[in-house]
């Protein structure tokens, strides 16, 4: 289907990881296992938090929402990637490509905002513990989560509108396993100088600003913990260190991808794997294995299921 009077491209060809059948089978097995871990691990966290009354604090409410976003995020790219690994010709329709681009940025930006909210939650819990319950009410948590989704939608709709107004009339080969803004707009038959600046200021600066806020929050937490040398605060610091690991793995590749010149996008295929494939699998590992309360809740859930 053509867009406007300029577009003639009806589909894009995804080059994927390799055109060798043996490697594609190995990649399929590996990424299928990773995708299964993402689904099962994050679903386990969601079910555990929603069914255990002891995990009713704002931190676990936000963690449950993060697990849901991770499932959505990896499901935007992984199923198509797995199917393509079994095919010789990896094509995606123009409309499907734009839809994938939209949902990737919608969910990805929502996750950035949610991770920032989670850092704010830890800041209040550690730096203002006496006011924590009053500040982080359930109503505020719901409003913050809704604001994350709204912010993600506004970010994504801007990216999508800037993309679909471009004329696509020539090459249609994408050197990656999914459609993304830097890759797709490079195929447009027009000067991209202004468009690249607008998109970089949108995606790149959103990533950089959110990451800066996160780092600032954790620096304030570290200063507070240093002053208040107590067992409870060191426990909170352990939780924050896990959170910061997830944040770093997710944000640094995004900043590198969207702030660097888009002409380098084709060389960032393996960087994209970090935040689309591996980052979502880290949450169940980090938050379950390092958090005694979650591990105890998972064990209680297991015992209830066996009865």
Let me know: does 249 contact 112? Beta carbons within 8 Å. no
Total count of residues recorded for the chain? 307
Q: How far apart are CA 126 and CA 157, in angstroms?
A: 36
Neighbours of 222 (CB within 10 A): 14
Over the stretch 25-35, which tens digit does the pLDDT of each residue have?
Answer: 898 999 999 99
Percent of the chain with pLDDT strictly greater than 90: 23
pLDDT band of 99, cuts 50, 70, 90? very high
Q: Which whole number is the average pLDDT over 108-120?
A: 91
Token digits of residue 96:
């499907």
What is the rounded average pLDDT for all residues in the chain?
A: 82
State the pLDDT at residue 4. 45
Q: How far apart are CA 141 and CA 125, in angstroms?
A: 14
pTM of the entire predicted model: 0.87
Let me know: does 151 contact 202? Beta carbons within 8 Å. no
The strand pairing partners of 140, in sequence order, are none
CATH of domain 14-299: 1.20.1070.10
Q: How far apart are CA 253 and CA 241, in angstroms?
A: 19
Strand order from edge to edge, sheet including 91-93: 91-93, 11-14, 173-174
Over the stretch 244-253, which tens digit does the pLDDT of each residue have?
Answer: 777 888 888 8
Q: Which whole number is the average pLDDT over 66-94?
A: 89
State the pLDDT at residue 130. 84
State the pLDDT at residue 233. 58
Helix (H) or strand (E) holding 65: helix 58-84
Among 3-17, 221-235, 280-294, the least confident range? 221-235
Domain ranges of the chain: 14-299
Q: Which whole number is the average pLDDT over 227-239?
A: 59
Q: How far apart are CA 257 and CA 199, in angstroms?
A: 12
pLDDT > 80? residue 265: no
Q: How far apart are CA 119 and CA 59, in angstroms?
A: 10
pLDDT > 50? residue 2: no
Among 102-106, 210-214, 234-238, the least confident range? 234-238
pLDDT > 60? residue 3: no
State the pLDDT at residue 268. 66
Over the stretch 163-185, which tens digit does the pLDDT of each residue have?
Answer: 888 888 877 888 888 888 888 88
Helix (H) or strand (E) holding 293: helix 292-306
Better-scored residue on pLDDT, 66 or 182? 66
Over the stretch 134-167, which tens digit does the pLDDT of each residue have?
Answer: 899 889 999 999 999 999 999 999 989 988 888 8
pLDDT > 50? residue 5: no
Q: Tell me the angle at which helices 94-127 and 231-259 cross, rounded to the nearest 10 degrees.
A: 150
Let me know: does 140 contact 258? Beta carbons within 8 Å. no
Q: How far apart are CA 239 and CA 218, in angstroms?
A: 11
């Amino acid at each position: 289907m053509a867009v406007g009077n300029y577009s003639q491209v009806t589909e894009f060809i995804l080059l994927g990881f390799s055109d060798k059948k043996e490697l594609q089978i190995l990649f399929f097995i590996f990424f299928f296992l990773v995708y299964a871990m993402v689904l099962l691990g994050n679903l386990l966290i969601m079910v555990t938090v929603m069914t255990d009354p002891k995990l009713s604090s704002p931190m676990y409410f936000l963690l449950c929402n993060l697990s849901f976003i991770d499932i959505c995020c990896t499901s935007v790219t992984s199923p198509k990637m797995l199917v393509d690994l079994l095919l010789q010709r990896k094509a995606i329709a123009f409309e499907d490509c734009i839809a994938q681009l939209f949902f990737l940025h919608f969910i990805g930006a929502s996750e950035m905002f949610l991770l920032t909210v989670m850092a704010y939650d830890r800041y209040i819990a550690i730096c203002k513990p006496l006011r924590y319950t009053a500040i982080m009410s359930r109503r505020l948590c719901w409003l913050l989560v809704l604001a994350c989704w709204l912010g993600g939608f506004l970010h994504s709709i801007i990216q999508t509108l800037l993309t679909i107004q471009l004329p696509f009339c020539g090459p249609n080969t994408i050197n990656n396993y999914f459609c993304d803004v830097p890759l797709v707009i490079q195929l447009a038959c027009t000067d991209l100088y202004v468009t690249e600046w607008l998109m970089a200021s949108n995606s790149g600066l959103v990533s950089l600003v959110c990451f800066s806020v996160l780092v600032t929050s954790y620096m304030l937490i570290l200063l507070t913990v240093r002053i208040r040398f107590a067992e409870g605060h060191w426990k909170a610091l352990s939780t924050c260190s896990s959170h910061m690991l997830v944040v770093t793995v997710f944000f640094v590749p995004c900043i590198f991808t969207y702030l660097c010149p888009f002409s380098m996008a084709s060389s960032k295929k393996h960087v994209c794997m970090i935040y689309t494939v591996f980052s979502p699998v880290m949450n169940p590992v980090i938050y379950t294995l390092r958090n005694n309360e979650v591990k105890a809740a998972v064990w209680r859930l297991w015992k209830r299921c066996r009865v």
